[in-house]
């Protein structure tokens, strides 16, 4: 399996004294290093401008995070699983994986990034601020700029396997699996209330994180087809998987179902129902 995750909006800086990023040591270095360097240089130049926040599409309250972009070459770096924080990452628990689960994550999880293209959980990176939806001066629209490089880095990895896609639209635009060679499955989360199902947001991130963590920790071989993914997901049927912030009410996974693509080259949909 290949689990595709979006980055978190917030990033946790690495501890003082840690080494900086080594581009040659990152996943996909052969295909992605030159583009990573080009994007990094363009980001540093933009981030030193007075209108940096506006160009990067963030508020002035994030000025300190934008300012960090100027010195990313020398900034301290930590494993991506610790730099990326937020609802999905807390639920997946990537930073706490050990043994076989950690080894599986290193090979099977890829986090998409406007700056790095894609990284594995144990790739060491600095905290940064850059969304894939940005039109970066000197590079252009990032999703389009990354597309050929990510295809070179990921198409062969995805071939003959199931791609478990938990990404948002901006990151989806940067790379789409070739459905002629890969079993592409997008994860959708809906809530069932009084027999009515509606799409959710916050709980969707949490549920995708729970699913990713389950797929990495479960015993047995990882799924390699959509049918095997569905069977693995159904291992969570009836289990409490989260607690509502504020109300303190828990919610459980009710069921999972697999739906066929709506377009010829689109993904199948793994619909996870919570209640």
Q: Coil, strand, or helix at residue 205? A: helix
- Chain mean position to CA 145: 18
In the chain, pLDDT over 90 holds for what percent of residues? Answer: 89
Average pLDDT over residues 127-142: 98
Distance between CA atoms of 48 and 61, rounded to whole angstroms?
16
Distance between CA atoms of 56 and 54, rounded to whole angstroms?
5
Tell me 133's DSSP state: T
pTM of the model: 0.96
Domain boundary assignment for the chain: 2-274
Q: What is the pLDDT of residues 204-215, one digit of tens each?
A: 999 999 999 999
Is pLDDT above 70 for 166?
Answer: yes
**Residue with token string 């639920």:** 91
Residues 6+ apart with CB under 8 A from 244: 203, 250, 251
**Residue with token string 């946790």:** 12
Q: How confident is the model at residue 247 (pLDDT cuts 50, 70, 90)?
A: low
**Both structure tokens of 273:** 């129902």
Residue 176 near residue 54, CB atoms below 8 Å = no
Is pLDDT above 80 for 271?
Answer: yes
Is pLDDT above 90 for 7?
Answer: yes
Is pLDDT above 80 for 248?
Answer: no
Please name which of 97, 101, 123 lies closest in space to residue 7, comparing C-alpha atoms: 123
Is pLDDT above 80 for 201?
Answer: no
Distance in Å from the first CA to the final CA of the chain: 27
**Residue with token string 């599986």:** 104
pLDDT value at position 57? 96
């Amino acid at each position: 399996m290949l689990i595709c995750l979006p980055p978190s909006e917030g990033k946790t800086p690495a501890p003082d004294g840690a080494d900086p990023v080594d581009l040659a040591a990152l996943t996909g270095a052969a295909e992605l290093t030159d583009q990573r360097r080009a994007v990094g240089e363009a980001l540093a130049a933009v981030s030193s401008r007075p209108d940096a926040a506006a160009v990067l599409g963030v508020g002035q309250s994030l000025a300190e995070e934008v300012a960090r972009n100027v010195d990313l070459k020398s900034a301290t770096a930590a494993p991506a699983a610790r730099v990326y924080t937020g609802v999905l990452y807390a639920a997946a628990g990537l930073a706490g994986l050990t043994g076989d689960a950690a080894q599986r994550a290193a090979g099977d999880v890829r986090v998409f990034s406007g700056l790095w293209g894609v990284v594995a959980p144990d790739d060491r990176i600095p905290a940064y601020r850059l969304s894939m939806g940005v039109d970066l001066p000197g590079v252009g629209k990032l999703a389009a700029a990354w597309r050929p490089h990510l295809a070179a880095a990921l198409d062969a990895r995805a071939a003959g396997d199931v791609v478990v896609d938990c990404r948002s639209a901006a990151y989806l635009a940067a790379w789409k699996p070739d459905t002629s060679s890969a079993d592409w499955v997008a994860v959708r989360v809906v809530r069932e209330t009084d027999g009515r199902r509606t799409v959710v947001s916050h709980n969707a991130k949490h549920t995708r994180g729970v699913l990713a963590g389950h797929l990495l920790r479960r015993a047995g071989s990882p799924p390699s087809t959509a049918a095997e993914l569905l069977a693995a997901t159904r291992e969570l049927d009836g289990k409490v998987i989260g607690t509502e912030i504020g109300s303190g009410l828990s919610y459980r996974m009710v069921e999972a179902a697999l739906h066929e693509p709506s377009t010829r080259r689109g993904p199948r949909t793994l619909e996870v129902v919570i209640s």
